[in-house]
Amino acid sequence: MSEFTNIPISIVDDDAAVRDSLSLLLSIAGFSVSTYESGAGFLASLKDCATNVLIVDMHMPGLSGVELAEQLRSRGCTIPVILISGNLDTATRDQGARAGISRFLKKPFSGTRLIETIREISN
């Protein structure tokens, strides 16, 4: 049995292909995965900050990944957030750090790197 069995991971990305591939990768690794196509959809379904790790894309219609992290913080949720983006410049990193984002991964990244990052922040 995987060491990750029943660890809830939420993925928020407006790109269905990214959501599906990350979900498949993490499910095979033993995580319990939920996916959302928007930050608003994730927030609407969130009860008691009930996820261990949130993986969120930076650039999405509606709430950006950083804005979603800010919303969580304003609700008192301390969910570790991994921000993924193809463009992680200094300004984005600084804004994300102020919003409480735990880690940043630049696309493309390996599945191994993602799982290592989840392991680091979920302990």
Residue-by-residue DSSP string for the chain: --TTTT-EEEEE-S-HHHHHHHHHHHHHTT-EEEEESSHHHHHHH--TT--SEEEEES--SSS-HHHHHHHHHHTT----EEEEES---HHHHHHHHHTT--EEEESS--HHHHHHHHHHHH-
Q: Over 80: is that where the pLDDT of 4 sits?
A: no
Domain ranges of the chain: 8-122
Cut 0.85: pTM above it: yes
Mean pLDDT within 73-90: 91
Q: Over 60: is that where the pLDDT of 84 sits?
A: yes
Q: What is the CATH number of domain 8-122?
A: 3.40.50.2300
Peptide bond into 108 cis (omega under 30): yes
| Higher-confidence position of 11 and 2 | 11
Q: Over 70: is that where the pLDDT of 82 sits?
A: yes
- pLDDT class of 1 with cuts at 50, 70, 90: very low
| Higher-confidence position of 107 and 5 | 107
- pLDDT class of 123 with cuts at 50, 70, 90: low
Average confidence score pLDDT of the chain: 90
